[in-house]
């Protein structure tokens, strides 16, 4: 295991992460852990700024092939920190508040959604409010059956803001989304699977192993094409059919042209000439 404590990337003496977020890279998986267990990993400014630094570093780190985001202790995350993210910044200078909110949107949404490597949310426990943004911005999600989810904002007099309502509207059906937005009722991992919020729900004892298995599946694929595939998915959602067709043809050509391992040619050679694999059932054998 490589323990990554953030020392190499710091322009000054302060570590860019390690106090509120820890990183450990093992067998290609970067385990990124929100680390405020005593506060149920509520997202404070420390987590916001450290996560931005972590994502920058993981983008460049060749040992990190797949990112798994999880929480220390009994929570995934209890959402935005009501004191340090809302009460104190709301009462402070407006410019500082704007900077914090912008940095939060950067990691929870813009960076994660288009992150060049696959991302998996491993929901180990409590997952509330702003944590939905993190969960939904990850490409895939695995939950513990015992995890507890909730859009609790209505219980303390606000709407699910940041970009939570938009995130929820992207992945949940309208009846379900409005039900949980308006009641604040909690649900478990199995229900999260039914609602389309996570891909897989397993007993907590199996959570890590199941997440590793999913990450290993992703690591067998061509990373350049994985990146292009997820980017294309997000872009075409907002396009007309005509635009999407044009964009996808151009994106496909660009991907084939720029793919350093020329995956399409390797795959075709192995299937058509060597007859060494079947693309419907497995990945081509990467040569690099
Ligand atoms: N913001 C700030 N602090 C939070 C927090 C949040 N979102 N969630 C938990 N904490 C803090 C608590 O204030 C408490 O701090 P203290 O020890 O200094 O008193 C500590 O974390 C432990 O919380 P506690 O409520 O005692 O833990 P629990 O295990 O009994 O309950 C929760 C866990 C998640 C159900 C409960 O903490 C909770 O409802 N949190 C708020 C969730 C929420 O509405 N989030 C939406 C924010 S967008």
pLDDT for res 91: 85
Q: How many Cα atoms occupy the beta-carbon half-sphere of 154 within 13 Å?
A: 13
Q: Which of 268, 267, 258, 269 is nearest to 286 (CA)?
A: 267
CA of residue 126 to ligand 1 center, whole Å = 10
Q: Ligand 1, residue 131: give the atom nearest the CA.
A: 48
Smallest CA separation from ligand 1 atom 40, residue: 78
pLDDT for res 8: 46
pLDDT for res 13: 60
The mean pLDDT value for 197-201 works out to 98
pLDDT for res 5: 57
Is 84's C-beta closer than 6 angstroms to any atom of ligand 1?
no
Separation of alpha carbons 126 and 142, rounded Å: 14
CA of residue 77 to ligand 1 center, whole Å = 9
8 Å CB contact between 112 and 55: yes
- SS3 per-residue string spanning the chain: CEEECCHHHCCCCCCCCCCCEEEEEECCEEEEEECCHHHCCCECHHHHHHHHHHHHHHHHCCCCCEEEEEECCCEEECCECHHHHHHHHHHCCHHHHHHHHHHHHHHHHHHHHCCCCCEEEEECCEEECCHHHHHHHCCEEEEECCCEEECHHHHHCCCCCCCHHHHHHHHCCHHHHHHHHHHCCEEEHHHHHHCCCCCEEECHHHHHHHHHHHHHHHHCCCHHHHHHHHHHHHHHCCCCHHHHHHHHHHHHHHHHHHCCCCHHHHHHHHHHHCCCCCCCCCCCCCCC
pLDDT for res 6: 60
Residue pLDDT, tens place only, 32-78? 999 999 999 999 999 999 999 999 999 999 999 999 999 999 999 99
8 Å CB contact between 29 and 65: yes
Is 132's C-beta closer than 6 angstroms to any atom of ligand 1?
no
7 CB contacts (<8 Å, ≥6 apart)?
15
Separation of alpha carbons 107 and 116, rounded Å: 13
Is 187's C-beta closer than 6 angstroms to any atom of ligand 1?
no
> Is pLDDT at 242 greater than 70 in this prediction?
yes
pLDDT for res 89: 84
Residue pLDDT, tens place only, 73-123? 999 999 999 999 988 888 888 899 999 999 999 999 889 999 999 999 999
Q: Global pTM?
A: 0.94
Separation of alpha carbons 269 and 97, rounded Å: 55
Mean pLDDT score across all residues of the chain: 94
CA 188 vs. chain centroid, Å, equals: 19
Q: How many residues does the chain have?
A: 288
Q: What share of the chain has pLDDT > 70, as a percent?
A: 95
Q: What share of the chain has pLDDT > 90, as a percent?
A: 89
CA of residue 68 to ligand 1 center, whole Å = 23
CA of residue 201 to ligand 1 center, whole Å = 24
Is 77's C-beta closer than 6 angstroms to any atom of ligand 1?
no
Residue 126: strand pairing partners? 75
Mutate to test the pocket of ligand 1, among 35, 37, 38, 40 (most ligand atoms within 8 A of CB): 40
């Amino acid at each position: 295991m490589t323990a990554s404590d953030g020392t190499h990337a710091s322009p000054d003496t302060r570590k860019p992460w390690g106090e509120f977020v820890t990183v450990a890279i093992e067998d290609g998986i970067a385990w990124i852990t929100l680390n405020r267990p005593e506060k149920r990993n509520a997202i404070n400014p420390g987590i916001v700024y450290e996560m931005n630094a972590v994502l920058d570093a993981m983008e460049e780190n060749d040992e990190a092939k797949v990112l798994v985001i999880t929480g220390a202790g009994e929570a995934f995350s209890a959402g935005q920190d009501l004191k340090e993210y809302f009460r104190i910044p709301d009462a402070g200078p407006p410019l500082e508040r704007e900077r914090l909110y912008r940095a939060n949107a950067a990691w929870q949404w813009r960076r994660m959604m288009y992150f060049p490597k696959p991302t998996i949310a491993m929901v180990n426990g409590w997952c509330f409010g702003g944590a939905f943004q993190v969960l939904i911005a990850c490409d895939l999600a695995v939950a513990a059956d015992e995890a507890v989810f909730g859009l609790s904002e209505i219980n303390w007099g606000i709407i699910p803001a940041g970009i939570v309502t938009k995130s929820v509207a992207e992945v949940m059906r309208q009846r379900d989304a409005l039900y949980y937005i308006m009641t604040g009722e909690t649900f478990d991992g199995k229900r999260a699977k039914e609602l389309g919020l996570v891909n897989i729900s397993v007993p907590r004892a199996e959570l890590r192993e199941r997440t590793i298995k999913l990450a290993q599946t992703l690591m067998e694929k061509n990373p350049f094409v994985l990146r292009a595939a997820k980017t294309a998915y997000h872009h075409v959602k907002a396009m007309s059919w005509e635009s999407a067709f044009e964009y996808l043809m151009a994106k496909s050509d660009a991907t084939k042209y720029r793919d350093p391992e020329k995956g399409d040619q390797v795959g075709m050679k192995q299937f058509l000439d060597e007859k060494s694999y079947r693309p419907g059932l497995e990945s081509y054998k990467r040569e690099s």
